Amino acid sequence: MPADYHTHTPLCHHARGEPEAFIDAALAAGVTEYGISDHSPVLPEPFDDWRMSEADLPAYFEWIDRARSYAGDRVPVRAGLECDWLAGCENWIRDLAGKYPWDYLIGSVHYLGAWDFDNPKWLGRWAECDVESVWIHYWQTYADMAKSGLFDILGHPDLVKKFSHRPEGDLDRFYVPTIEAIASSGATIELNTAGRHKPCAEAYPAPRFLELAHEAGIPLVISSDAHAPEEVARDFPTAIEIAKAAGYRETQLFERRERRAETL
């Protein structure tokens, strides 16, 4: 199985499981590599209730060390962070990048202004908004994240569809400019299987986005976004078929923020 680089720890307050259990799950799934990429701190604190704090970073490093110690030479364990793209966050991301010898950083858009739009707590806001406007805002924000050049992997590209709110018409009008920005950045995108278990019932991104990304030469990783050991590499056989249908024949491996290809 391909590497699974998008996984979480209990430090984010909405995941469960010990490092050893995640390693056991990674070994059982047969992934090439297992990566840990919990939600990074955001300043000023407290920012929200679904991420680690800056004071939790030493515990996070210990979690990674425990996973590596338990894994031994059975599976490589890579260290990452999932970082939120927010207005004015660039210096903080650069600061985080220097706090540990990371193998990769994932950039994600969970916030549009002060609204963490994928949080079930605020689901009612979707009934009050214009979906077209939300999608315009989301994809412009995603393109800006790509253009920053701060991230190795760009997370769940069409997370905005999570609750199955989509505008009318051809969605290429959102996809194409964003794909151009990603291609220019040199970043990798992820095919994130978690969406299959959300109201949208579809991996992130949609097959059409993935097809356009492949045509643009954008590299790919496959991720589970696991928040529990049993979710590691979840739906990877299906994801491999989706990736191949879009034209992909390889995924990527990361070490110390250097990328190399692996046959899919």
Domain boundaries, the chain: 10-263
Per-residue confidence at 230, pLDDT binned at 50, 70, 90? very high
- Give residue 57's pLDDT: 98
- Give residue 8's pLDDT: 98
What number of other Cβ atoms are within 10 A of residue 108's Cβ?
A: 26
- Give residue 243's pLDDT: 98
Half-sphere exposure of 150 (CA within 13 A, CB side): 26
- Give residue 101's pLDDT: 98
Alpha carbon distance 136, 134 (integer Å):
5
Instruction: Quickly name the fold that domain 10-263 has.
Output: TIM Barrel (3.20.20)
Interval 137-146 mean pLDDT: 98
Per-residue confidence at 219, pLDDT binned at 50, 70, 90? very high
Interval 12-33 mean pLDDT: 98
- Give residue 122's pLDDT: 95
Alpha carbon distance 47, 204 (integer Å):
26
